[in-house]
Structure 1
Amino acid sequence: MNIENEQEFIQGAFFELLNKGWIKGDLKPSLITKQDIEKLEEKYQIEIPSLYKEFLMAYQLPKSIVNDHLFKISGIVNRDKVEGLEPLWLILNRIKDVKSLEKIIDEFRSIAIDYCEAPEGSYLHFLPIGDWGAGWGPLCIDLKLAKKKANKDDESTWSLVWFDHEEFDWKEEYLKEDGLLYGRPAVPDFQTLLEWYFIGTLEQEFENQYQLKLDVQKLSSFEFCGSYWEDKWKDNDM
């Protein structure tokens, strides 16, 4: 996508989220500018993917209907060929300004070194953007993988990855021979994340497969999403 298409996609994704009823209040313009992001990239010597830049510069991430402090949302994902389609929670960082983004980056890097045994410099290619699943661990953009097009059938190409918060030896769990950390695959890329969660591109297929009707009330229900594993969520109410 070119810049104009990216901006149109981001705007459409936010409006879809608003129309579905996930957002409290109105959408407010972002306080982050292109110059802010350029200074951040220079400070940390990173290159943020163009689509995520447009996301940061579009709107302030609002409160969701399930949490007054976090942007927490549930959507239908396809992260595993074995499990297939499933509902899954996601938390995205509510980044007010570039200073708050710098704080998030610094905290992630500090955790990597101080608590998770990550070798110096092995984590610099990650940009933390939220928390994966039901509080499973930090969700990041792998900035090296993000430079290439993701293959949805090859998880090794997926640029959105996560680190299990119950694992404290990242050197043992995630370090490869090139001296860099590689997180667990979560989503092919940031565009797919927005398609799954904001736009809901997999919801119709899920409804057809399981003969039920999804809406924001179901997807925002912890009982519905939590009981998925026990099949209690299944009903025949189309």
Structure 2
Amino acid sequence: MPTRPVSDYTMAQLARWWNSHGDVIIRVQGIVMTGLDEAARRIKIRMLPRRGAREEMEAALSSIDVPRDAFDIGIGCTGAFQQIGYLNEIVDDPFRDAITLSVQAAPQVPYGKALSLNFFIQNKSEDTVRFFLGGRPPYDFVVSKSDGTEVWHWLCAKVRQLPLDRKTLDPGESLQLSGEWDQVDNQGHPVPAGQYAVRGVLFMEPPQRLVTSVRIVEVLPAEEGP
């Protein structure tokens, strides 16, 4: 992405504007970092990806008496998120044959409406199974286009810790993990209507991970006005 040219504003101007209006900026939901960028001489704002994030920030900036180009807004994943192409299952634990994995979501969702996602791990055997979950949260939902291009990761907007947690499932017992997709990509841009593939990923003791089969979801076209 091309680098924006250095602005003509002084650091003293930027500091004065920030001290006077910073409270307006930080009230917008999803701020992960803001401050003065000395190299570019702008007020840097970084936000988590969600529907309407940029519009809300633009509305906040329009309410204060500061030139718009004094700000640099960036929307994207947390610095801790690393997309490593982990949709290939890696497991050497024999308990894999004792469980079933599935991701559930409505087959169709109206354009612009958040989609609830549920990930189920069930013990289908007659014995208790024990395993480690890797990380908090220990799972991800991945949304891809029909051509396989990954569009969105639920973990993109999360700060993930990396402890191991022991888990036990008795025969027939299930573990449910939940999330929500508000129809944006990892940069917070709304996605177009169409079909998308949803999968769940369960992280175990590294490098092991389990991946669900695909659930197809259709984002319906936006309704046109009269």
TM-score bracket for the superposition, by shorter chain length: under 0.3
Structure with the bigger RCO (C-alpha within 8 Å, sep 6+) is 2
TM-score (norm 2): 0.20
